[in-house]
Amino acid sequence: MKLKIIDLFAGAGGFTLGFRQVKNTSGKPVFDTVWANDFNKDAAETYNANFGEHCVYGDIVDILNNPRVRIPRADVVVGGPPCQGFSLLNRNRELDPRKALWLPFMDIVQRSQASVFVMENVPELLTSDEFLEIEKVANSRGFTIRAAKLIAANYGVPQLRTRAFIMGSRLADPENVFPPLRTHRDPRNTKKTDDSLYKQNARPWRTVRDAIADLPFPEGTDIRGENGAEALHFGRNPTQLSIDRYHAIPEEGMNRFDLQRVAPELTPDCWINKKSGGTDLFGRLWWDRPSVTIRTEFFKPEKGRYLHPQQHRPITHREAARFQEFPDDFIFKGSKVEVARQIGNAVAVGMARQIANIVYEHFKRYRQQLKKNRINANTEQLNGKKISVSV
């Protein structure tokens, strides 16, 4: 059973990579991408360099409004519409038009006649009015949906990344597979947990040490080559003041509050006066815990807990990519800033792989219904039936 997927708002392709890592009992890949899209040119080039020339660069609304565009048939549509519209960091989110980009997502689900879709976004989506609208539209098109907030560390990713996932299916209610059973546990949690949420023999969370301890000290300040561990393992040129601040908080877990305590003369006034909001800044990671959420400016320690646990420096692009579970041979295109944006915006590869596993299981359980859906779609195509959409 070969399943075709479309990846929207694809970025570097974290979703696609996770799906492509799923194999059947014969060791052959289950999922094959037939179309993808992203509005960022560098991200589209990254995607195509790794997965083949089928990521279309451009505005998804313009693409759908072009009568010459033909969206190919697919079994699954995946993607993460830009999440800034829902983010708590966006004070103008009530007026943010990017919140509505789930509409073209659903229209491509319709045009491709997919049987399943998976949408990823920030957790705030699930308590928004937009979620109710997504559910309403999905139900009207024959989909039953399930949604949950999932922590990547619970699925083997060395990162405490929490994201909302929505799975919709026209085959059956996906509740028998979604959310996926957790494969990893927090070893520090001594409270009794619901074992039904976990797979048998769930392992401890993967840590910063597991992900990056083998890397040498970074060299240079620029990207070196297209792939390999060294390509993205470069440093920065910090000021002497920044270096002094790094040395003032040498222990893992320390952050700007420790800097203020031990070296107030090195602490900016804006940090001293800041009592709320983003307060976990200029912090060191812990060796034996997962990383914090990797965002697009992870190379700036003043933006979060992005200092190396031991060395006096921010984490590198390679280390951030490993926290997202991109392999060292993955090719990134674009400038240092653009590559960082691609890494921070990506769906964590290991999380995508776990989602892909349950999607595959869902298709196996309802194989006969999938065949009927494909036959109906082919019949409609042969009869020239036009799929009505609205963007």
Query: Which residues are part of the catalytic machinery?
Result: 83
Determine which helix (DSSP H) or strand (DSSP E) holds 6, and give its type and residue range.
strand 3-8
CA-wise closest residue to 324 among 156, 87, 77, 125: 156
Both tokens assigned to 191: 């409270």
What 3-state DSSP class applies to 367? helix
Region label for 258, one of left (φ > 0), alpha (ψ between -120 and 50) or beta (otherwise): alpha
Query: How many whole angstroms separate alpha carbon 111 and alpha carbon 234?
Result: 44
Instruction: Provide the 10 A C-beta neighbour count for residue 92.
Output: 8
Burial class (CB in 10 A: 0-12, 13-18, 19+), 57: middle
The string of DSSP letters for 18-78 reads HHHT-B-TTS-B-EEEEEEEES-HHHHHHHHHHH-S-EEES-HHHHHH-TT--PPP-SEEE
14 phi, psi to nearest 5 deg: -60, -40
DSSP bridge pairs for 182 = 198
